[in-house]
């Protein structure tokens, strides 16, 4: 395949130019097969630290490690080819000082091949954002409801319901924007605040529980496809994967217990020349 025919991944510039023009489509992925399925439809694929809760069964994202994010980031990069891939920096990997943040971000990018990293962006993080951007690390910010702050907040609470909170979230957004982030996740805020933030910052905003007023949207894919029996208020279910898996497993279990699986179609037999072959029924079904 020639270089001209190769698929080009979307870049920071592509995402930045979408602000106010074309809504940005973003979903989470944590493995290669899922990334491959969503790659043709997404502008951004986020390897979120939500992997700790969604895949590993943790109660929050606080216990997610660098190694975990790198492992899943590598898998998503293998499964995708055109969407820009952004990997979350886990709790404790960027808050200490800008140099630590840069070194950890550089490690994630070098070991996964991703195009950018994301950090949860209180005002304290603006210095780290600027430090990383100046040194070649594209940074996506995350303001509003910040899951890594669950222990301080006493749970996953929507933000911006009081004047003090609104001012704090707006200050976080402006600080991250001025520090040079190329995009910003806005999570769990009222529509009017999301609209205000989107107008106030120069980078695209990507909402999750923040209304259609943002420049794009992101959801945790497992919520969107109906993998769990409960989903947050802001999630629209586009599938019933949990139900489909349950039905498939139930049918398999029934066939095994009833000795209906494996049947002749799934069974190998010995041919006259001593070589193993699949049953004739299976070969005929394949057109052999």
Is 49 annotated to bind a ligand? Reply is yes
CB-based contact 79:39 (threshold 8 Å): yes
Q: Rounded to an integer, what distance in angstroms lies between the CA atom of residue 139 and that of residue 199?
A: 20
Tell me: is residue 120 an annotated ligand-binding position. Answer: yes
Q: What are the b/e assignments for 82-96, b being 16+ CB within 10 Å?
A: ebbbbbbbbbebbbe
Q: Peptide bond preceding 262: is omega within 30 degrees of 0, i.e. cis?
A: yes
Rounded to 5 degrees, φ, ψ at 183 are -160, 170
Asked if residue 50 belongs to a known ligand binding site, the reply is: yes
Active site residue 244: no
Instruction: Give me the numbers of helices (H) and strands (E) for the chain, helices first please.
Output: 12, 10
Closest CA to 112 of 136, 137, 86, 140: 86
How are beta strands 84-88 and 116-118 bridged, if at all?
parallel
* Dihedral of alpha carbons 12, 15, 18, 20, sign: negative
Q: Which residue among 123, 187, 244, 265 is the active-site one? A: 187
Q: Does the annotation list 255 as a binding residue?
A: no
Annotated binding site for Mg(2+): 49, 88, 120
Q: Which residues are catalytic?
A: 187
Annotated binding site: 49-50, 88, 118, 120
Annotated binding site for 3-methyl-2-oxobutanoate: 49-50, 88, 118
């Amino acid at each position: 395949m020639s270089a001209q025919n190769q698929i080009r991944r979307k870049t920071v510039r592509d995402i930045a130019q979408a602000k106010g023009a074309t809504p940005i489509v973003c979903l989470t992925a944590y493995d290669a097969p899922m990334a491959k399925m969503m790659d043709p439809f997404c502008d951004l694929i986020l390897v979120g630290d939500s992997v700790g809760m969604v895949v590993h069964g943790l109660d929050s994202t606080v216990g997610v490690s660098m190694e975990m994010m790198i492992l899943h980031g590598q898998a998503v990069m293998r499964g995708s080819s055109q969407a820009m891939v952004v990997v979350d920096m886990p709790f404790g990997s960027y808050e200490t000082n800008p140099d630590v943040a840069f070194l950890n971000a550089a490690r994630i990018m070098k070991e996964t091949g991703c195009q950018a990293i994301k950090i949860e962006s209180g005002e304290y993080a603006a210095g780290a954002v600027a430090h990383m951007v100046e040194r070649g690390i594209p940074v996506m910010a995350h303001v509003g409801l910040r899951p890594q702050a669950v222990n301080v907040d006493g749970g996953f609470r929507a933000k911006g319901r009081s004047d003090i909170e609104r001012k704090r979230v707006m200050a976080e957004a402006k600080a991250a924007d001025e520090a040079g982030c190329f995009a910003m996740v806005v999570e769990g805020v009222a529509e009017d605040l999301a609209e205000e933030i989107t107008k106030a910052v120069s980078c695209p905003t990507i909402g999750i529980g923040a209304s259609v007023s943002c420049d794009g949207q992101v959801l945790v894919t497992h919520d969107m496809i109906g993998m769990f029996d409960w989903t947050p208020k802001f999630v629209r279910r586009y599938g019933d994967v949990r139900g489909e898996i349950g039905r498939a497993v139930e049918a398999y279990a029934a066939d095994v217990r009833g000795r209906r699986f494996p049947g002749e179609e799934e069974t190998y037999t010995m041919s006259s020349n001593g070589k193993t072959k699949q049953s004739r029924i299976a070969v005929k079904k394949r057109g052999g």
